[in-house]
């Protein structure tokens, strides 16, 4: 059996080890020797599915300098694995579905990590473990279906407005929407909402959404070379937007979605920031994508001053 000199990804399933998705080796068992050899590669991704990987088998990967995406699905890991992952400085995605021996009591080991996504479906994750996960500073998404997490345990982390739990089975859609609402409430500054201003901002946004959808439909037919493409977009900005144009984003950088960027936007909430600024929260009904629009009072009316999307926390993007 000939091993390549270098590899960037490794995937094991059903007795076959695929390196860089091309070189395939018959490896019926993942022995300590095999794991040592794999840890010697400058891997960025390593995934194992359906093998009883133990915490001890992972030991050679402690301190692995290039690993960004690590997954062990349906293995035999326990919470003793987390100190090993904590020693991977570039680890961003950790996929541990189906490891029944994990309950989350070791997740505090990841508090200094840059992990963004953690999947713990079909594990023994409980409320105390979820609370530890919520303390991982950059964690934005955690999957918790088929675990021991209760709804009370979920609500206990609502004070973290950065994290987005993903549970399609564990809780109902209504429960998840209530959690998101509570999350927003806890993140709000203690300033009373000006209801009349919020209603006016929603009216401005509705008109903006409608005109942008119409412009995108026009672009789908006319294309970027059409003489009216830019003037029509600039007219929308003149009417609704106070944000200074930024390179790479509309209206300076032309782009459009055939489905319509704002075609399915639903209003969720409003948050007063100052007398002359507030946030309007929306969700795209088809994808569940969350946005919040910073609205600014300009003269007697309101304009859109910025938009943020909920990715790893709220991040500014282009209109």
% of the chain with per-residue pLDDT over 90: 82
Rounded to whole angstroms, the Cα distance separating 280 from 79 reads: 40
Rounded to whole angstroms, the Cα distance separating 90 from 85 reads: 10
pLDDT for 182 equals 92
Residue 87 phi, psi (nearest 5)? -95, 10
Q: Is pLDDT above 90 for 258?
A: no
For tokens 């023994």, name the residue: 124
pLDDT for 73 equals 97
Average pLDDT in the chain: 93
**pTM listed for this prediction:** 0.67
Q: Is pLDDT above 80 for 189?
A: no
pLDDT for 247 equals 87
Least confident of 174-178, 196-200, 255-259, 293-297: 255-259
pLDDT for 1 equals 67
Express each pLDDT in 71-113 by its tens digit: 999 999 999 999 999 999 999 999 999 999 999 999 999 999 9
Residue 67 phi, psi (nearest 5)? -65, 125
Express each pLDDT in 107-146 by its tens digit: 999 999 999 999 999 999 999 999 999 999 999 999 999 9
% of the chain with per-residue pLDDT over 70: 99
Band of pLDDT at residue 244, cut at 50, 70 and 90: confident
CA distances from 304 to 120, 232, 241, 313 (A): 39, 18, 5, 20
Express each pLDDT in 300-310 by its tens digit: 899 999 999 98
* Polymer length of the chain: 319
């Amino acid at each position: 059996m000939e091993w390549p000199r270098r590899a960037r990804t490794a995937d094991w399933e059903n007795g076959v080890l695929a390196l860089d998705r091309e070189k395939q080796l018959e490896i019926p068992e993942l022995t300590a020797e095999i794991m040592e050899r794999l840890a010697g590669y400058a891997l960025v991704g390593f995934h194992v599915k359906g093998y009883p990987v133990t915490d001890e088998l992972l030991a050679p990967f402690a301190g692995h300098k290039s690993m960004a995406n690590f997954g062990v699905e349906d293995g035999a890991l326990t919470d003793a694995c987390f100190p090993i992952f904590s020693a991977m400085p570039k680890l961003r995605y950790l996929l541990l579905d189906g490891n029944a021996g994990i309950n989350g009591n070791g997740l505090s080991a990841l508090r200094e990590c840059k992990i963004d996504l953690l999947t713990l479906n079909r594990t023994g994750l409980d409320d105390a473990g979820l609370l530890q996960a919520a303390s991982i500073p950059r964690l934005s998404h955690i999957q918790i279906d088929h675990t021991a997490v209760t709804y009370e345990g979920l609500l206990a982390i609502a004070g973290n407005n950065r994290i987005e739990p993903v549970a399609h089975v564990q809780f109902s859609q209504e429960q998840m929407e209530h959690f998101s609402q509570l999350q927003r409430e806890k993140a709000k500054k203690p300033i009373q909402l000006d209801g009349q201003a919020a209603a006016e901002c929603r009216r401005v946004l509705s008109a903006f959404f409608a005109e942008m959808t119409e412009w995108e439909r026009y672009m789908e037919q006319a294309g970027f070379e059409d003489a009216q493409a830019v003037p029509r977009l600039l007219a929308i900005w003149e009417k609704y937007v106070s944000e200074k144009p930024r390179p790479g984003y509309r209206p300076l950088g032309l782009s459009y979605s055939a489905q319509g960027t704002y075609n399915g936007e639903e209003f969720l909430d409003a948050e007063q920031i100052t007398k002359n600024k507030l946030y309007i929260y929306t969700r795209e009904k088809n994808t569940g994508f969350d946005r919040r629009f910073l609205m600014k009072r300009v003269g007697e009316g309101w304009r859109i001053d910025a938009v943020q999307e909920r990715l790893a926390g709220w991040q500014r993007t282009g209109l």
